[in-house]
Chains A and B, each alone.
Chain A
Amino acid sequence: MIFRRSVYPVNRTLLTVDRFTMYTDCAFRVMNLGIIDYVEALGLQKSIVADIAAGRTPHTVITCQHLPVITLPPRAKNENILVSREELKRLGIRVFPTDRGGEVTYHGPGQLLFYSLFDLRQDEKDLHLYLRKLEQVAISALRDNFGLNAYRKEDLTGVWIGPYKVASIGIRVKNWVAYHGFSLNVEVEKKYFSTIRPCGMDIPMASINDFFSDAVSLETVRDMLISSFADVFQMRPKLTEHSERKFFIGRFDP
C-alpha cells in the first residue's frame, strides 16, 4: 500500500463560504453540522424528509462526522462485525440498527458523512441512477480537485482509488424521498476499518489522506463535495443558519 507519497497532482482550490453567498436562488440547502451523534442525525434526517415530502423544504445536504459507530441495516449479518462486544466497548464503538440499504458500515472521526435528502419525484425516479449520481459527486470532487484517480466498480457500489474503497454509499427512499448518502474516509484511523467486513466482503479500505504527503482538511473536502453535488445535480447550494459547527479530523481517543 502506497501511503504518504505525493504521486498525485494536487489542486486544492478551496471553495469558500463566500462563494455560497453568490447564489441567490436556493435549489438545495446545506447544513454543515460538525460532530453529531448518529441517532440524532438520523432523527434530523427523518424530520427533514417528512418536510421535503410535504413540500415544506427543498432538497437538503447535511455534512457531519460521527463518533465511532457501526450501523446495521435490515438483514445485515452480525458476523460482519469482526470484533467482540468487549473490544467494541474498549474502542468506544457503539452499534446501532439503521434503515438504509447495504451492509454493515463503520462511521467515525476523520470520515465525512454526506447525507443527501433528495426528492426523487423532482428528478428521475430511478434508484440506481441516483446511486450512480452520488458516486459521481465523490468521484468528480476527488478527481477534479485533488487529482486522485477515483473510480466506480461495476456491481460494487462505492468509490475506489486503486484497490481501496474510500467511500461507502447507502440510501433509504421513503415515498420517493431519499435520505442517508455516502461516507468518505478523509483521515480515519486504520484500526477502526478492521472491526468490520465492509459490505460483507473482504475489501481493503483507505482514507484519501493516505495518498497525500500533506493532509487535506475535512472542511476543504466537504466544500469540494458540495460544489460537486451542485454540478452533478445541476442545482445551487445555500448554507443555512444552523451550519458551521466545528469539524475535527482523525485521532479520536475513546
Chain B
Amino acid sequence: MVKVYLPELGENITKATVSYWYAEEGATVVEGSDLVELATDKAAFNVPAPCSGTLVEILAHEGESIEVGAVLGLIEEDTVSPEAEDEKEEV
C-alpha cells in the first residue's frame, strides 16, 4: 500500500485544508495525475498520485485541516503497468 503524504509546503507552513479529491475511494488513479486539492492561506495546490493503482482509502476528507507530513490517503499500487496492460490488450 502506498501512502499519499501532505508534502512540505515551505517554512512555517504546518497545515493545509483539503478542498476536494479528484477521485473517489475505489477509483483507478494514474501516477502524476491530480489526486487531491488543498489550500493554505491564499494558495491552492494539488498533490498528484505518487503511483498508478486504486485509491483504497481517503483518510483526510474535504474541509479537514491536515498537518504537513500526514497521510492523506492510501493507494493499492498496480502490479502491472498501464503500458503493459495496453500491450496485452493489443495481443
Contact = CB atoms under 8 A, between A and B. Distances in A.
B50 interface: no
Secondary structure class of chain A's binding surface, majority of residues:
mixed
Contacts, number: 77
B39 A74 contact: yes
B28 to A, nearest CB: 20
Contacts of A131: 41-43
Contacts of B17: 75
Nearest to B19: A74
A174 B45 contact: yes
B46 A127 contact: no
B6 to A, nearest CB: 12
Given A127-B10, A128-B10, A171 B48 contact: no
Interface string A109-141: 000000000000000111111110000000000
Nearest to A170: B42
A125 B10 contact: yes
A102 interface: yes
B40 A128 contact: yes
Contacts of B12: 128
Given A74-B19, A75-B63, A128 B48 contact: no
Interface string A56-85: 000000000000000001110000000000
A172 B63 contact: no
Nearest to B17: A75
Contacts of A128: 9-13, 40-41, 43
Nearest to B62: A75
Instruction: Name which of B12, B17, B42 has the most chain A CB atoms within 10 A of its CB.
Output: B42
Counting from the closest, the 7 A-B pairs by CB-CB distance are A126-B10, A101-B44, A173-B45, A102-B42, A127-B43, A74-B19, A172-B44
